[in-house]
Amino acid sequence: MSVKELHKATQSQEYFVNMGPQHPSTHGVLRLLLTLDGETITKVEPHLGYIHRSIEKMCEKDSYQQIVHLTDRMDYLSCHMNNEAVCLAVEKGLELEVSDRVKVIRTIMSELTRLSSHQLWWGVMGMDLGAITSFLYGFRDREMITDIFEETCGARLTMNYNVPGGVMFDIPANFQTKVKEFITHFRKKLPEYDQLMTNNIIFRNRTEGIGILTKEDAISFGVTGPSGRASGWSNDIRKSHSYSAYDRVDFKEIIRTEGDSFARYKARIDEMWESMNIIEQLIDNVPEGSCREKTKAVIKLPKMEIYQSVETARGELGVYINSDGKKNPYRVKFRSPGFSNLNALNTMAKGGKIADLVTIMSTIDLVIPDIDR
Amino acid sequence: MKAIINYIKEVVGGVKTLINGMKVTGYYISHPKEIITQQYPENRDTLNMVDRFRGEVIMPHDENNEHACTGCQACEIACPNGTIEIIQDRILNEETGKKKKTILKHVYHLSMCTMCNLCIEACPTDAIEMGKGFEHAVFDRSQLTKVLNKPGSKLRAGVEE
Amino acid sequence: MKFDIYDFSVLTASIHQLLGEMMGETAVMITEMVIVGIVFLTLFAILGLALVYAERKVCAFFQQRLGPMRVGFWGTAQTVADAIKLLLKEPLMTKSADKFLFNLAPFIIIVASFMAIAAVPFALGLQAIDLDIGVFYVTAVSSIGVAGILIAGWASNNKYSLIGAMRSGAQIVSYELSVGLSLLTIVVLTGSLQFSEIIESQREGWWIFRGHIPAFIAFVIYLIAGTAETNRGPFDLAEAESELTAGFHTEYSGMKFAFFFLAEFVNMFIIAAIGATMFLGGWMPLHFGGFTAFNEVMDFIPPIFWFLGKTAFLIFMMMWFKWTFPRLRIDQLLTLEWKYLLPINLINILIMAFIVLMGWYF
Ligand code: SF4
Ligand code: SF4
């Protein structure tokens, strides 16, 4: 046996593992084709399409009011922001200025949605890392927000609260007290999150230095949201293309430079604090006014193209509407944050272990229906 | 020597963070009052559904078995999922002697409804509204297709004006 | 000593005598073996059911839930219902699995824990076999279980199972060392490997109190390594639900899966029982030197309750770990063992030897 042959024979062999579409930590029906060398990942290839419902195509047959409720089903954890994005786009097309009251209500609801999304993410992240208890704690706090949602719009998850021109119902009488109650509760509970997970040495070791995404990579992959900001890329739509009432509140854009899993984790935790700040600034001064501008029963946009983006809990959601003057859009395209964020997975996970892949996946906070649409 | 001190510091610091975490869970196990479980079928009587809860589409009838649905089909058009089907016919009105469109069946496919509330918004006479029932499980899919107007019911007088 | 009234050896001796009057010597031995076997099988079933129930309740209360509540009073019959369900389930197997090994693996695991439990001293005179190398025997047979896990992972013909099995192999082989060494720390004190003698030596006080800090460190290390050896969280890498779906028992269903499940819980019991015996005085009541009245009151509690209480305490600690901490990664797991636990353990044992040599313990 020559040296070369010997070398070849002793080389370890790569093998493939299908992670998903039914796997506990892919959070849905994502299929990852892993190329492994032992437990070390050499390649991750996401395969999509297991929950494709052709929402974009369905939008082409729907009226503009009907499109809104479909977006609930994309990123169901930031459904309010998705609704808002479509409504803002339609209002832009109609050149309709909504009242201040609507703007403030939308902002508060968006931030509550962001909080609830991050709470769920925190719980699920703990579960992915093996600390199942955090899952229940995350849900416990999320429950208070869902209760507020239920009282405001009658649904807990797929809310369909925004309509072009405003919001479907006015906020209920006890909305303010309920929200304030939640904020005081959660300000007490959030440090507990740190105590249980953030400071835990095992957790630190599992996240620090894992799945590093450089700023350049983040920009070229279009990784937005807390994941992108953890790599040092300032991309908060709420700051750069302010919409609704974000221009009248004072909040920090959370930017971290490390770009590892812990930075992404911490960015979200800090964002929760910021969200609470935003809500507190607005909750006591919701302006008077109508909560819904009158629109025609059949909305027709002029022949035009509109692009409107909002900051969801996962990053930039863009809505592109191409209208040809009819009551249905000619083409609708959603730029979903999850899809772009997922693209960076291979770059981040290469060279890590299977356990690292799980960490990375939970820190980029995937919601599969958002990716597949 | 320094390395050894650092090593010990590392170990002690690590153990401290672990104990901190155990304090959190320890607090909850020693405070059973904080338990948040709701035992669902048992608490049915005390269960308080909010006013705006969207459970299913219903059509309220008054004591004379009359409803407010004119059969205008606005809800059918507004629904994004084809959940509502209005079946109507031209029926002779005895008083005026003219044939007039009258609703026979307001068919509602609960299995296709996404509780989006658009039909209720669209209805000009407020004939339908969102009901609070949420226990929709049945053994056969066909039971999910409902006729909202009760048999023998008719349009409340004065609604059409 | 007061608790001698609870001596079980009187009972066992009378049974032995009774049997001796009825049959020959060999027959007596065989009958006794059968009786002990039946007793342990029953114990296994009861332990499994009770521990699974306890785990579900404890975990629920950690998580602000109520846990099983429907079947029986406060869900007490839930685990029985689960066991019946598992019995009735179809045993599935992957198409190209190695049939013989696939079926063998659960039995190896269960036999390993069966063998280990034989040496556990439950109470005064209540011990299946009091080997003079008890500690050595338990550490030896408890590591047979890993063979079962490896076989299960290999025979399933599933990559997840195989990864889980390999992880488990690496883990148990490493942590075996720490368990052994931390037990040795106490053996240094007692000078004996026999469980009954180790317990007897704690008549004046438990080793965890009398052995100064080294004994305490050994106890903590034992608890960590013991948790790791039972493949429980935060060391449940072999199953690692969120990474490997269910690790080495992904492909098992029905009663064969129940065996793995049962073995995990019984192993936890064994680890806790050995820990209680070595560090917390086994079935010895709590004694403080000088407080005669207090000691006498303590003596009235039967030894079996002392033993079960201490074991339950250790099991609770292990559950507390599991329901609080995130899981380690495989390389961190090995780092923890080889870079932290093992060196600390070695130094600890040296210090202990020195203390014993100088006669500084009480
Ligand atoms: S709630 Fe929505 S989906 Fe249901 S019937 Fe009304 S419009 Fe259709
Ligand atoms: S329910 Fe309302 S919208 Fe629907 S057909 Fe009847 S009157 Fe028209």
Say what the ipTM of the complex is: 0.82
Which residues 308-337 of C have a C-beta within 8 angstroms of A? 323-332
C68-92: average pLDDT: 83
pLDDT at C1 over 60: no
Q: Do B116 and A160 touch (CB under 8 A)?
A: yes
Choice among A157-161, A190-194, C24-28 with the minimum mean pLDDT: C24-28
Neighbours of A346 (CB within 10 A): 16
pLDDT at A181 over 60: yes
In a domain, A1, yes or no: no
Give A112-154 pLDDT, tens digit per residue: 999 999 999 998 888 888 888 888 888 888 888 998 888 888 8
Instruction: Find out whether C108 and C102 touch, Cβ atoms under 8 Å.
Output: no
B130-153: average pLDDT: 85
Closest CA to A254 of A242, A270, A239, A243: A270
A54-74: average pLDDT: 87
pLDDT at A215 over 80: yes
pLDDT at C303 over 60: yes
Distance CA A211, CA B49 (A): 45
C259-265: average pLDDT: 84
**The ligand 1 atom nearest the CA atom of B117:** 1
Distance in Å from the first CA to the final CA of chain B: 96
Nearest residue (CA) to ligand 1, atom 3: B113
Which tokens go with C257? Answer: 């899966």
A205-225: average pLDDT: 87
Q: Do B17 and A140 touch (CB under 8 A)?
A: no
Peptide bond preceding A21 in cis form (omega within 30 of 0): yes
Which residues neighbour C48 within 8 Å (Cβ) at sequence distance 6 or greater? C79, C83, C261, C262, C265, C266
pLDDT at C3 over 60: no
Which residues on chain C are in Cβ contact (under 8 Å) with A137? 63-64
A17-35: average pLDDT: 81
Give A296-350 pLDDT, tens digit per residue: 778 888 888 889 889 888 888 889 998 888 888 898 888 888 888 888 888 888 8
Distance CA C227, CA C310 (A): 16
The 3-class SS string of chain B reads CHHHHHHHHHHHHHHHHHHHHHHHHHHHHCCHHHCCCCCCHHHCCCCCCCCCCCCEEECCCCCCCEECCCCCCHHHHHCCCCCEEEEEEEEECCCCCCEEEEEEEEEEEHHHCCCCCHHHHHCCCCCCEEECCCCCCCCCHHHHEEECCCCCCEECCCCCC
Which residues neighbour A335 within 8 Å (Cβ) at sequence distance 6 or greater? A309, A316, A317, A318, A319, A320
Please report the pLDDT score of residue C288 as a whole number: 67
Give C166-223 pLDDT, tens digit per residue: 888 888 888 888 888 888 888 888 878 887 777 777 777 677 767 677 788 888 888 8
Residue of C56, C58, C59, C61 to mutate when probing chain B, most B C-beta within 10 A: C61
Give A247-272 pLDDT, tens digit per residue: 888 888 888 888 888 888 988 999 88
Instruction: Find out whether C149 and C165 touch, Cβ atoms under 8 Å.
Output: yes
Query: For chain A, how big is the Rg over CA atoms in Å?
Result: 22
CA distance A243 to chain B (A): 25
Q: Which residue type occupies A347?
A: T
pLDDT at C6 over 70: no
Instruction: Find out whether A314 and A341 touch, Cβ atoms under 8 Å.
Output: yes
| Residue B146 burial by Cβ neighbours in a 10 Å radius (0-12, 13-18, 19+) | middle
Q: Is A69 on the interface with B (CB under 8 A)?
A: yes
Nearest residue (CA) to ligand 1, atom 4: B113
C319-338: average pLDDT: 85
Domain boundaries, chain B: 57-154
Is residue B130 in contact with ligand 1, taking CB distance under 6 Å? Answer: no
Specify the pTM. Answer: 0.86
pLDDT at B161 over 70: no
- Domain containing A92 equals 53-371
Instruction: Find out whether C60 and C66 touch, Cβ atoms under 8 Å.
Output: yes
State chain C's mean pLDDT as an integer.
81
Residue C195: alpha-carbon gap to chain centroid: 15
Choice among A209-218, C25-34, C121-130 with the minimum mean pLDDT: C121-130
Domain boundaries, chain C: 91-358
Choice among A50-59, A63-72, C1-10, C318-327 with the minimum mean pLDDT: C1-10
Q: Specify whether domain B57-154 bears CATH 3.90.870.40.
A: no
Residue C169: alpha-carbon gap to chain centroid: 18
Give B40-49 pLDDT, tens digit per residue: 888 888 888 8
Distance CA A351, CA A345 (A): 12
Please report the pLDDT score of residue A70 as a whole number: 87
DSSP classification of residue C68: -
Please report the pLDDT score of residue C289 as a whole number: 63
Give the alpha-carbon dihedral of C58, C59, C65, C69, to 10 degrees.
Answer: -60
C309-314: average pLDDT: 87
Is residue B148 in contact with ligand 1, taking CB distance under 6 Å? Answer: no
In a domain, A221, yes or no: yes
User: Angle CA(C354)–CA(C356)–CA(C361) in degrees, nearest 5?
Assistant: 115
Percent of chain C exceeding pLDDT 90 equals 0
- Residue in chain B nearest C336 by alpha carbon: B11
Confidence of residue B60 (pLDDT cuts 50, 70, 90): confident
Please report the pLDDT score of residue C78 as a whole number: 85
Instruction: Find out whether C222 and C273 touch, Cβ atoms under 8 Å.
Output: no
A23-52: average pLDDT: 83
Confidence of residue C284 (pLDDT cuts 50, 70, 90): confident
Q: Where are the alpha helices (DSSP H) in C235-341?
A: 241-244, 254-279, 292-299, 303-322, 330-335
In a domain, A152, yes or no: yes
Confidence of residue C361 (pLDDT cuts 50, 70, 90): low
Ligand number with the minimum distance to the CA of B125: 2
Instruction: Find out whether A213 and A227 touch, Cβ atoms under 8 Å.
Output: yes
